[in-house]
Amino acid sequence: MTGALRARGSRPGAPPPGIREEEWRDWRWQMRHRIRSAEALRAWIDPHEDELRAIEALSQRFHFVITPYYASLMDPDDPECPIRRQVVPRLAELHDPLGEPDPLREVEHSPVKNVIRVYPDRIAFCVNNECALYCRFCLRKRMVGEPSWSMRRRELEEALGWIETTPEIRDVLLTGGDPLVFTDDRLDWLLGRLRRIPHVEIVRLGTRLPVTLPFRVTEGLCRMLERHHPLWLNTHFNHPRELTPEAAEAVDRLSRAGIPVGNQSVLLRGINDDVHTMRALCEGLVRMRVRPYYCYQAQLLEGTAHFRVPVERGIELFHALRGRTSGFAIPRYVLDTPGGKVPLEYPYLRGREGDRVVVETWDGSLWREPNPLD
Ligand code: SF4
């Protein structure tokens, strides 16, 4: 890659001059040409001194990898660009006295390697340590990397054996890493194995590839996935600039394969923690037929203090959206804890007055609804 790639005139998400459309839209080409160094990054942006020093200082702590597609969404001149900040290291990652490697105690909740069980009837099954790129706020920083398939296959067989012998499990979330980094054949094998387990009713896919590498969502992948219904998929858009025509096409292919697509974002300081941006994100998702499902409070994860927003401000943000956009465009704001997810909500229920319950409506007025005494 050379500096010529920066292509300031190109539309974000489109191939820069010198790269053929077929190459750009080939997910394997994108994976082979991922950015892994400051030098490669210079082909896309003018890195700020803080970014350059952070790439060097953090190289041993967490992977620095970006797909060319996602790099094309970055503002080359603005270090505070909300796309850049998600994937380019910053020195602020070195200053986080509260951050922990595993704030949700996922290791303690693991009955067998790669399985996380917090609830009785469902599990997160970490099938892969690899992602198309690495987000600076990733909850699984401690484990995402690039392992060999042969090792993973042995481990996956052990986890599948555990699921087979645990009949309470009816809902399996495939996560990682990112399960869509698998080839179609590997994923087909894995889904087929799960589908042969009678008590597994639904399988969910947790993937950021529609956002970071939408070309992975090929017609071939969708034809394979639709053989394994009922499948649900949650992806992870954080900012309206990620809602490109390429991402919309990927989501459309999934929807046409009968897979309901939801979104789980993270509330990130300076990226989406204002009403205007969150509303644009949520309304843009709904236009793409993606249901905003959860917005997570950022975890006490090492190296992420600069991303965290006070819970009170998060509650106010989602309160401000209520009544000002479609109800189903507003995700549930949640805090994930080692004991499970906790909704963080504005207290609309104001109490009881005799035989009435008092509630606050979206515009701040009170309503007293007749309410039977038990
Ligand atoms: S795509 Fe998800 S699992 Fe992968 S680095 Fe980003 S947040 Fe972590």
CA distance 32 to 348: 51
Query: How far, in Å, from the CA of 286 to the mean position of ligand 1?
Result: 22
Ligand 1 pocket check for 6: Cβ under 6 Å: no
For residue 335, which of 348, 327, 345, 320 has the smallest C-alpha distance? 345
Helices (H) and strands (E) in the chain, counts: 13, 12
Which of 135, 239, 265, 336 has the most ligand 1 atoms within 8 A of CB, as the residue to mutate? Answer: 135
Atom of ligand 1 lying closest to residue 208 CA? 1
Ligand 1 pocket check for 144: Cβ under 6 Å: yes
Tell me: pLDDT of 76 over 90.
yes
Tell me: pLDDT of 268 over 60.
yes
> Tell me, what's the pLDDT at 220?
98
Residues facing residue 340 across a β-bridge: 337
> Tell me, what's the pLDDT at 2?
44
Sign of CA dihedral 291, 89, 309, 77: negative
Please name the helix (run of DSSP H) or strand (run of DSSP E) that holds residue 189, with its range, or none. helix 184-195
> Tell me, what's the pLDDT at 147?
66
> Tell me, what's the pLDDT at 142?
87
Tell me: pLDDT of 146 over 80.
no
- Looking at residue 10, what DSSP letter applies? S
Ligand 1 pocket check for 308: Cβ under 6 Å: no
Tell me: pLDDT of 258 over 80.
yes
- How far lies 144's CA from each of 28, 68, 205, in Å? 19, 20, 17
Residue 39, classed as helix, strand or coil, is helix
Query: How far, in Å, from the CA of 178 to the mean position of ligand 1?
Result: 7
Atom of ligand 1 lying closest to residue 131 CA? 4
Residue 357 exposure: Cα atoms within 13 Å on the Cβ side = 8
Ligand 1 pocket check for 162: Cβ under 6 Å: no
Quick one: tokens of 317?
């943000």
CA distance 97 to 245: 40
Atom of ligand 1 lying closest to residue 141 CA? 8
Instruction: State the distance between the two ends of the chain, measured CA to CA, in whole angstroms.
Output: 70
Domains and CATH numbers, the chain: 3-94 (no CATH), 115-343 (3.20.20.70), 345-374 (no CATH)
Average pLDDT over residues 145-173: 89
Name the region of 235 (left: φ>0; alpha: ψ -120 to 50; beta: rest): beta
Query: How far, in Å, from the CA of 350 to the mean position of ligand 1?
Result: 39
Ligand 1 pocket check for 134: Cβ under 6 Å: yes
Residue located nearest, by CA, to atom 5 of ligand 1: 134
Least confident of 11-20, 144-153, 267-276: 144-153
Average pLDDT over residues 68-84: 97
Least confident of 20-34, 128-142, 160-174, 221-235: 128-142
Average pLDDT over residues 95-100: 93
Query: How far, in Å, from the CA of 68 to the mean position of ligand 1?
Result: 16
Atom of ligand 1 lying closest to residue 176 CA? 3
Res. 1 pLDDT band, cuts 50 70 90: very low
Query: How far, in Å, from the CA of 140 to the mean position of ligand 1?
Result: 7
Complete DSSP assignment for 228-279:
G-SEEEEE---SGGG--HHHHHHHHHHHHTT--EEEEEEE-TTTT-SHHHHH
> Tell me, what's the pLDDT at 149?
66
Tell me: pLDDT of 4 over 50.
no
Burial class (CB in 10 A: 0-12, 13-18, 19+), 148: exposed
Residue 322: partners with Cβ closer than 8 Å, 6 or more residues away: 330, 346, 362
Q: Please state the φ and ψ torsions of residue 343, each to the nearest 5 degrees.
A: -65, 135
> Tell me, what's the pLDDT at 282?
98
Query: How far, in Å, from the CA of 355 to the mean position of ligand 1?
Result: 50
Tell me: pLDDT of 10 over 90.
no
Residue 189: partners with Cβ closer than 8 Å, 6 or more residues away: none
> Tell me, what's the pLDDT at 124?
97
Average pLDDT over residues 134-148: 85
> SS3 for 222-234, per residue?
HHHHHHHCCEEEE
Residue located nearest, by CA, to atom 3 of ligand 1: 177
> Tell me, what's the pLDDT at 85?
98
The predicted model scores a pTM of 0.95
Average pLDDT over residues 238-245: 98
Query: How far, in Å, from the CA of 363 to the mean position of ligand 1?
Result: 37
CA distance 163 to 149: 20
Average pLDDT over residues 209-231: 98
CA distance 36 to 134: 10
CB 103 within 8 A of CB 337: no
Res. 7 pLDDT band, cuts 50 70 90: low
Ligand 1 pocket check for 138: Cβ under 6 Å: yes
Least confident of 49-53, 104-108, 334-338: 104-108
Tell me: pLDDT of 62 over 80.
yes
Which of 133, 139, 178 has the most ligand 1 atoms within 8 A of CB, as the residue to mutate? Answer: 178
Q: At what angle do helices 275-287 and 311-321 cross, to 10 degrees?
A: 50
Ligand 1 pocket check for 65: Cβ under 6 Å: no
> Tell me, what's the pLDDT at 6?
55
Cβ count within 10 A of residue 345: 14
Ligand 1 pocket check for 180: Cβ under 6 Å: no
